[in-house]
Amino acid sequence: MTIARTSYGKTIAGFTHYKWNQVNNYAVNDARRRAFLLQLDLHEKMVPISDNNLIYCHRAYGPLFGDTNCDFGIEDECDMKEKSDCNFPNMYNKEGPNKYPRNDESFRVFSGSSTRYVKYEDYEVFQVH
């Protein structure tokens, strides 16, 4: 589980059953789609839109939810620079008919930023057993 507060005051969390592996570069694909994002300020759950790219593992990054243009990611120096990807909605979106469109307003609603990049004031990554 990863939880982070953006410098724009939004709190985002991501959960997956999959183990993040920093050694290999690969995307996790699974028909069971055992991952989701939470936009805690809106009390909304975002689910994978397909079986592909639920998380992406790479030694240069922390947890990434989605592909390399991830919906929610923790990157190096994420608390010092506005460079962590928060490219929502890319691989995750709401369930049902009222999905978020891919535009600047969706970035603002999800992360507070008007672009796909954010800086985090604080973040924590947990391993749940």
CA distance 62 to 71: 13
Q: Where are the domains of the chain?
A: 2-125
From 72, 66, 62, select the one nearest 117 (Cα to Cα). Answer: 72
Question: Would you say 87 and 71 are in contact if contact means Cβ atoms under 8 Å apart?
Answer: yes
Cis ω for the linkage preceding 89 (within 30 of 0): yes
Instruction: Check residue 22 and give its pLDDT.
Output: 59
Averaged pLDDT for residues 5-12: 96
pTM score, whole prediction: 0.90
Strand partners, 78: none
Which tens digits make up the pLDDT trace of 18-70? 877 755 778 888 899 999 999 999 999 999 999 999 998 887 788 899 987 89
Instruction: Please count the other Cβ atoms lying within 10 Å of the Cβ belonging to residue 114.
Output: 11
Instruction: Check residue 76 and give its pLDDT.
Output: 81
